[in-house]
Structure 1
Amino acid sequence: MEVGIIAQLEHSPFDAMAMVVLCSYVDQRIIESEGRWKGSDKVRDIPWPEELVFTLNQNVLNDIGRAKERYSQQVSDLQLVNYAFTSFGKALTKKKGLHPDTFVQLGLQLAYYKLHGHPGCCYETAMTRRFYHGRTETMRPCTVEAVEWCKSMLDPSCSSHKRQQQMLKAFAKHNKMMKECENGKGFDRHLLGLLLIAKEEGLPVPELFTDPAFTRSGGGGNFVLSTSLVGYTNIGGATVPMIHHGYGFFYRIKDDRIVVTCTAWKSCPETDAEMLCKNLFQSLQDMIQLMATAHL
């Protein structure tokens, strides 16, 4: 039985992948030792820990009370589902010549389109760790090619051959953009830098950042789909939606399965994490079937 480790962290000091690598190492050592400690049994002579006593005034106590109340309200409003798609995984997608991560991302685009009837602006993490102090860039999977493919999948007059052609174009565009982002050729961090400089220097904020189109495209942290590949390990994760009518979507990919954790806000009548996952799993089946039946 596969057991996943879920780690919780605050992103400010470091990125999630640092924790994923650490947890993956621990997971592998536990498996190798069959869950039994095989190190030294010697107990070191160390001083007992000392309790730190905090003196808090009423203002601080009131703030803590309000924070706890707000936290409880948000937790009770969160819909979180965790499912494993076990029909196939990385092994089959790679056999078909399709990048596993791109496969899931395009499947999510199709799932969202089928559920909501329109495209969903999407954030995917692109790692820039090949650069000194490099962290992340925003990869935007909602491309023109992806949307055209989604439309073809919902068009009953469109042939399997045409759908496959559209899908492969979407794959090529996604892979190209991911490589560009990983090589420092993205634009979201650049725009963020310009915005922060304007604010820090007391300069007028460029009109771009207040343009409705910028916000609808996900700019300013307004992505409808907030996604991240946690890795090809047993380590799982989750995130809340960026916006009220959005979704948080984390996933990990194994040879024989794809495990997803999806979140939405219960108070939003438009979203449903359960239905999004159901549509996603059907989309993944449709995509692999398309590769099996369409003739180039």
Structure 2
Amino acid sequence: EEHLAALTAAPRDMWAQVRSSLKIQAEDALEAVEGAAFFVSLDSEPAGLTREDPAASLDAYARALLAGRGHDRWFDKSFTLIVFSNGKLGLSVEHSWADCPISGHMWEFTLATECFQLGYSADGHCKGHPEPSLPQPQRLHWDLPEKIRLSISLALRGAKTLSGNIDCHVFPFSHFGKSFIKRCHLSSDSFTQVALQLAHFRDRGEFCLTYESTMTRLFLEGRTETVRSCTREACNFVRAMEDKEKTEPQRRALFRLAVEKHQALLKAAMSGQGVDRHLFALYIVSQFLHLRSPFLDQVHSEQWQLATSQIPVQQIHLFDVHNYPDYVSSGGGFGPADDHGYGVSYIFMGDDTITFHISSKKSSTKTDSHRLGQHIEDALLDVASLFQEGQRPKPRCRGLPEEDSGHRGSCLPCHKRGSKATTKSTNF
């Protein structure tokens, strides 16, 4: 029973077959789990930022939220609330029911309510009084025949292999943030996306198909569309940055062109003029009609080696982020979309910090999350120097505090207290 949830990390066809058996053998218990609003995991190990090794502990924190131990998350559930033994907590979110702005807003609302409305007593306990009329927890009874037990063991082995293969790296970039970018009269998202192209090229020595998700919520039931950030304009800028013969004015002009192109693609995607959802629909229709299209086959087979997303902040006003910057969420991350690719998400925390969440697979000889993180930092500084008369922004600490304040409920803290993050679970 302890490892039952590992089945939700198994391939879908295998889990579907075992689930059919479970509906017969343990219908009431399965219905109780699947009918719940969300799943709560009480982890037996502590997590969070530590004074002894802040960088490594932050990475381990992110990995624990993303993958767990393979059997302590019910991955089918809309979200799993993960509570570690030292009171730290975070989320693992299943993606099909909602996109990042929804789960992110939910977590920001939780953070703001906890800090500014509910609060804690002087000794660290939650304010308020217990509700004695609530029913006591009841143990679920599972009748697991040997065949299902074997399936659980097999699923657990596969889940541990997958979770152990994830390489997570989280770092707050605190040299500058959106306030500096705005002073350059540039879009902060486009600035970051073009800088990511430079960082990835330095990491791999080549350009790659790049995915950035954007919202189509202008439309009824709109979800997402893809912005293909690796444009000709971005490539021209990257080549210029690596060409010693190019001058800073030339590089700056090419950078502005790349940003303008990205902005145009972003606006087109948000207004329903993207191409990827259209191509996907055509592919599905071709499969349904048993029509082979070499063009659609090629499009469908292309791998996104760089999957990116910006985490939205303060979609509605919850509190004054300028007066309380330490309570801004530090975002969340997701797994890579390709065996030899990266997953990169970022969030603008206040005016002067950008926190990056980078993931890749340890089994790949082509990727290294920490290496890409260093390239991202260098690329951002190099781009910023184009707008500061050749001077890099003054180096500062990479954003990690000296110690963890121990604030209850914090998740991936990057400041002195209260920072939190959601971490989305994906197929990795």
TM-score by length of 2: 0.63
**In 2, Cα distance between equivalents of 1:292 and 1:7:** 39
Is the deviation greater in 273-282 or in 40-49? 40-49
The aligned length equals 286
Q: Deviations over 1:51-84 (max 9, x none)?
A: 3322223332222211111111122221111111
Give the structure 2 partner of residue 130 of structure 1. 218
| 1:98 paired residue among 186, 192, 195 | 186
- Alignment map for 1:1-296 (pairs within 5 Å): 6-33=90-117, 35-36=119-120, 40-41=128-129, 43-199=131-287, 201-211=288-298, 214=299, 219-220=300-301, 222-232=303-313, 233-254=328-349, 255-293=351-389
How far 1:5 moved relative to its partner?
Answer: 7.3
Q: 1:121 touches 1:142 (CA, 8 Å); kept in 2?
A: yes
Which amino acid in 2 is paired with 1:222? Answer: Q
Q: TM-score, normalised by structure 1?
A: 0.90
The structural deviation recorded for 1:256 is: 1.1
Q: Distance in 1 between matches of 2:92 and 2:308?
A: 16
* Separation in 1, partners of 2:385, 2:118: 39
- The answer to whether the Cα contact below 8 Å between 2:118 and 2:127 also exists between their aligned partners in 1 is no
Structure 1 unaligned residues grouped into runs of 5+: none
The residue matched to 1:236 in structure 2 has which SS? coil
Q: Which moved more, 1:127-136 or 1:96-105?
A: 96-105
Cα 1:53–1:63 change in 2 (3 A) is same
CA contact (8 A) 2:333 2:345 kept: yes
8 Å contact from structure 1 (residues 8, 237) kept in 2: no
RMSD (Å), alpha carbons: 2.2
1:226, 1:248 within 8 Å by CA — same for their partners in 2?
yes
Structure-2 change in CA distance of 1:6 and 1:238 (3 Å): farther
Q: Percent identity?
A: 27
Structure 1: distance between partners of 2:104 and 2:170: 18
Contact 1:24–1:235 (Cα < 8 Å) also in 2: no
- 8 Å contact kept, 1:221–1:242: no
Amino acid at match of 2:97: P
Quickly say closer, same or farther: Cα 1:70–1:131, change in 2 above 3 A.
same
> For 1:221 and 1:62, how far apart are their aligned partners in 2?
36
- Which letter maps to 1:291? F
AA matched with 2:109: Y
Closer, same or farther in 2 for the Cα pair 1:242/1:203, shift >3 Å?
same
Structure with bigger helix share is 1
Q: CA deviation at 1:230?
A: 1.3
**CA 1:181–1:107: 2 relative to 1, 3 Å:** same
The range that moved more, 282-291 or 58-67, is 58-67
| CA distance in 2 between partners of 1:111 and 1:148 (Å) | 14
| 8 A contact 2:170–2:355 mirrored in 1 | yes
Distance 1:145 1:207 in 2: 28
Q: Which runs of 4+ in 1 moved over 6 A?
A: 2-5
CA gap 1:280/1:184 in 2 versus in 1, 3 angstroms:
same
Q: In 2, Cα distance between the equivalents of 1:109 and 1:153? A: 11
